[in-house]
Structure 1
Amino acid sequence: MIYEAFLAGFWASLGSTLGKLSGTESVVGNSYAIWVLLLTVMVVVNTWGCRHYLRSLDAAANSVAPTVVSAATSYILSGLIGIFLFDEGASVTWWAGAMLIILGLALVARPRNKPKDA
């Protein structure tokens, strides 16, 4: 379940990256073919992410864990892609928020020990 939710977040962040690249003039230039190609691949990648998200929902006992895992993965990876690929800045506040998201992800994804009935 967690693996599928992680992949859903990964594909979502890749899809958003392709969407941003399709609007970047230095990548697309005046070529409609490159623009259409990037948008088409973005749609395919996002569809693939939805597939993994639905598979994670199917495997989970509730919808909270897959939603948190995929959203957190997407947020963190999109931020890292923005920093390293697009030269966007990240403040200390962003890094602190990213660490809190990872901490929350660890709390939500951990296995539960059910108490035994006496």
Structure 2
Amino acid sequence: MFYEAFLAGFWSSLGSTIGKLTGAEYIVGDSYVIWAALLIVMVLVNTWGCRHYLRSLDAASDSVTPTVVSAATSYVLSGLIGVMFFDEGASVRWWIGATLIIIGLALVARPRNKQKFT
């Protein structure tokens, strides 16, 4: 279940990256063929990510854990891709915020101990 949810986040961030490339003048230029091909690939990649997400939901006992794993994976990978490939700036404050979001998501997804009160 965790593997499928991780793959869902991975494919989601890759789909976003391909979507960003459709607007990049240095990639597309004036070619509608390249633009359309990138859009088709983006839809296919996002569909593949949805497939993995649905499989993770099917394997899980609740919907929170796959959602958290997928969202955290997508968030971190999108940030790393932006920094490494698109020369986007990510300050220390951004990374601290990303870490806090992931910690919060992990707290939401953790298993709860049910205590019986008599």
Same fold? TM cut 0.5: yes
Q: CA deviation at 1:92?
A: 1.5
Q: CA deviation at 1:99?
A: 1.8
Map of 1:91 onto structure 2: 91
Q: CA deviation at 1:107?
A: 4.4
Q: List per-residue Cα deviations over 1:62-85 (Å, max 9, x = no partner).
A: 000000110111111011100110
Work out the CA distance in 2 between the residues paired with 1:49 and 1:60.
Answer: 17
Q: CA deviation at 1:111?
A: 6.5
Q: CA deviation at 1:103?
A: 3.0
- Unaligned ranges ≥5, structure 1: none
Q: CA deviation at 1:104?
A: 3.8
Work out the CA distance in 2 between the residues paired with 1:84 and 1:109.
Answer: 29
Query: SS in structure 1 opposite 2:61?
Result: coil
Aligned-partner residue type, residue 35 of structure 1:
W
Work out the CA distance in 2 between the residues paired with 1:94 and 1:56.
Answer: 29
- Identity value in percent: 78
Map of 2:45 onto structure 1: 45
Structure-2 change in CA distance of 1:100 and 1:69 (3 Å): same
Work out the CA distance in 1 between the residues paired with 2:92 and 2:60.
Answer: 34
Work out the CA distance in 1 between the residues paired with 2:84 and 2:111.
Answer: 33
Work out the CA distance in 2 between the residues paired with 1:15 and 1:29.
Answer: 20
Work out the CA distance in 2 between the residues paired with 1:113 and 1:67.
Answer: 20
Q: List per-residue Cα deviations over 1:75-107 (Å, max 9, x = no partner).
A: 110111001100000011111022223434554
- Unaligned ranges ≥5, structure 2: none
Instruction: Return the TM-score normalized by structure 2.
Output: 0.88
Q: CA deviation at 1:45?
A: 0.2
Matches within 5 A, 1:78-117: 78-107=78-107
Residues paired across the two proteins, number = 118
